[in-house]
Amino acid sequence: MLKTLTVQNYILIDHLEIDFHKGFTVLTGETGAGKSIIIGALGLLLGERFKLASVAKAEEKCIIEGVFDIRGLNLTPQLSTYGIEADETIAIRRILFPGGRSAVFIEEVPVRLEVLKVIGKSLIDIHSQHQNIKLKDPLFPLSVVDTFTKNGKLLSDYQAIYQRYKTEKKAYKSWLASVQAEKLNLDFYQHQLSRFETIDLDNCDMESLTQTLSRQQNQKQIQTGLQEATLLCDHEEGGIVPQLDRLLGVAQSLSRVDPAMKPLVTRLESVMLEMQDLSQTLNDMGESSTLDPQELANIEAQMSVLYQLFEVFQVQDLEALKQKHKSLRDKVQVLSNTEDEEKRLKLSLDHLQQKLADKALQLTKNREKVLAIIAEKIETMLRKMGMEHARFELRITSLDNFSLFGRDKVDFYFSANLGQPLQLVGKSASGGEVSRIMFALKSFLSETSGLTTIIFDEIDTGVSGRIAETMGGLMQEMGKVRQVLTITHLPQIAAKGDHHLEVKKATVSGKTTTNIYPLTTTDRPKAIAQMLSGEVVTKVALAQAEGMLRGV
């Protein structure tokens, strides 16, 4: 329930603070006085977007604040998910700063506009004149039915499956298109893959191949060098080993007469052993080093294939070539075995579709059960508003495909007079009839949805006299179980209000401002009399107004 509304620097309002109460409250005032400004301010508290042009003084910030009684709405768990603590009331504040930056606060906690929209749906339902076009919205009848059936949880489950189904279906179609496109290239991929058949990439080492190739290509030079090195070591006349042997003999002779030479003998013996071993190694290498024409031919062939592959696949090294080979191999494997993957994806999609169909069928059954009940309730309300022969019907038809709301389409059919066939509401109802139908639907929805506050913005358009009085009485009845706020030009409705607020526009020092004044029991007869007779209040009008307030 709306408790207070504070408006600062908004359109024609400098500063306004007003209290609201339980029951049925009417807002009246001359055309252009600013009643729609109040609706605009409340809309901002429910998540509508700020417009910079709505600020009265561009150099000052605009503030809209409302305090709501949330007892009975079970909003605490939802609010806590956004870090908001509240038990009985919440304060919502919207600020538009000079320059266009805006901010939203719930209980002083800054929140995104989307959060406010979610919370706002549970606080107030505002029905303005333009909402009559909802009767032409194909989803509105469905929402009416689902509200009454309390299909919320089932619909939420269905929509979760539906979104998953859409995602998987899109992925399946994309995969299928991709595979079909790639299959056109399968022959090319297989041809490219065949280029690797002459080489074993997994056991291929570029560095080892390069070294072996170099050794085979330079075998003659290697053999000549090894032979020369062996002669330098062992040649009788000038070889290192014979020379070392003679040097060792001299050192050993000296050590026998001079003990200080013994360490030199030990060192020479060590060098001698190392040189003998080195000489033997060089000799062995020389004997084993032979040219292998077959090995050379094999390596040259492998290197030739590798460099050709480097060029064909535009890579610089063996690792990149291996990656290219793996990619081609994987592609060919996938494209050659798509049937299993297609079956798996199709099976998953069919499973989801079946679950979707089951949920959709349950939604349909639930909806079908309440169509006649809703129609009867609306007809009863219409008869109370003077449409004694009105007939209202909800018809459900099945859609060819799944939608976000199932496989159903619901339409409102209406006939105002005896003998008149039922037709779609949007095609058959007049302006006044549309107003009464929407009023009946909104009244019905407010009872079903559990909303504590409903606002009617001139829903009485096109009605007058006894019908207006009946509508006012119905609003008064609604006010006994929820807060009802109505903006009206009709005295018959204004007289039914438990509380009466009057919107007035005044010009002071060349500036026009709007304000709201709560009317006392003494003020109300004159205000309603003005609605009856105009600015000049006659005694007859005043007496009639007093009678209307007494219910006479």
The pLDDT confidence band at residue 431, using thresholds 50, 70 and 90, is confident
φ/ψ of residue 401, rounded to 5 = -125, 165
- Cβ atoms < 10 Å from Cβ of 183: 13
Pseudo-torsion of CA 5, 8, 11, 12, nearest 10°?
Answer: 90
d(CA 350, CA 1): 47
Question: Mean pLDDT: which of 147-151, 354-358, 438-442, 457-461 is highest?
Answer: 354-358
State the pLDDT at residue 217. 59
* Section 233-240 average pLDDT: 73
The pLDDT confidence band at residue 300, using thresholds 50, 70 and 90, is low
Choose between 432 and 264: higher pLDDT.
264
Q: What integer best gives the mean pLDDT of the chain?
A: 84
- Position 168 pLDDT exceeds 80: yes
Enumerate the domain spans of the chain. 1-123+451-519
Choose between 452 and 45: higher pLDDT.
45
**Quick one: CATH architecture of 1-123+451-519?**
3-Layer(aba) Sandwich (3.40)
* Section 213-222 average pLDDT: 59
Q: Which residues face 15 on adjacent strands?
A: 8
- Position 394 pLDDT exceeds 90: yes
Q: What digits encode the pLDDT tens for the residues 11-25? A: 888 899 999 999 999
DSSP, collapsed to helix, strand or coil, labels residue 333 as helix
State the pLDDT at residue 77. 83
Q: What is the residue whose two structure tokens read 């074993």? A: 200
d(CA 36, CA 174): 50
State the pLDDT at residue 374. 94
Of the listed ranges 38-47, 188-197, 251-260, the one predicted with least confidence = 188-197
d(CA 85, CA 102): 23
DSSP, collapsed to helix, strand or coil, labels residue 373 as helix
- Position 292 pLDDT exceeds 60: no
d(CA 439, CA 427): 18
Q: What digits encode the pLDDT tens for the residues 113-134? A: 999 998 888 888 887 665 656 6
Q: What digits encode the pLDDT tens for the residues 374-389? A: 999 999 989 988 888 9
State the pLDDT at residue 56. 80
d(CA 495, CA 473): 9
Closest CA to 24 of 518, 499, 517, 446: 499
pTM attached to this predicted model: 0.65
Percent of the chain with pLDDT over 90: 31
Closest CA to 38 of 525, 458, 510, 442: 458
State the pLDDT at residue 195. 77
The pLDDT confidence band at residue 33, using thresholds 50, 70 and 90, is low
DSSP 220: H
DSSP, collapsed to helix, strand or coil, labels residue 84 as coil
Pseudo-torsion of CA 69, 5, 33, 550, nearest 10°?
Answer: 40
Pseudo-torsion of CA 501, 505, 507, 512, nearest 10°?
Answer: 120
Pseudo-torsion of CA 254, 258, 264, 266, nearest 10°?
Answer: 90
- Position 104 pLDDT exceeds 90: yes
Tokens of 70: 């949330």
Which amino acid does the sequence have at 343?
A: K
Closest CA to 16 of 5, 25, 30, 24: 5
The pLDDT confidence band at residue 203, using thresholds 50, 70 and 90, is low
DSSP 55: B
Tokens of 504: 């007035």
* Section 453-463 average pLDDT: 80
The pLDDT confidence band at residue 211, using thresholds 50, 70 and 90, is low
Q: Where are the beta strands (DSSP E) in 488-542?
A: 499-508, 511-518
Which amino acid does the sequence have at 335?
A: L
- Position 517 pLDDT exceeds 80: yes
- Position 523 pLDDT exceeds 60: yes
Residues 439, 384 contacting (CB under 8 angstroms): no
Q: What digits encode the pLDDT tens for the residues 38-70? A: 888 998 998 888 887 788 888 889 999 999 998
Tokens of 29: 């005032």
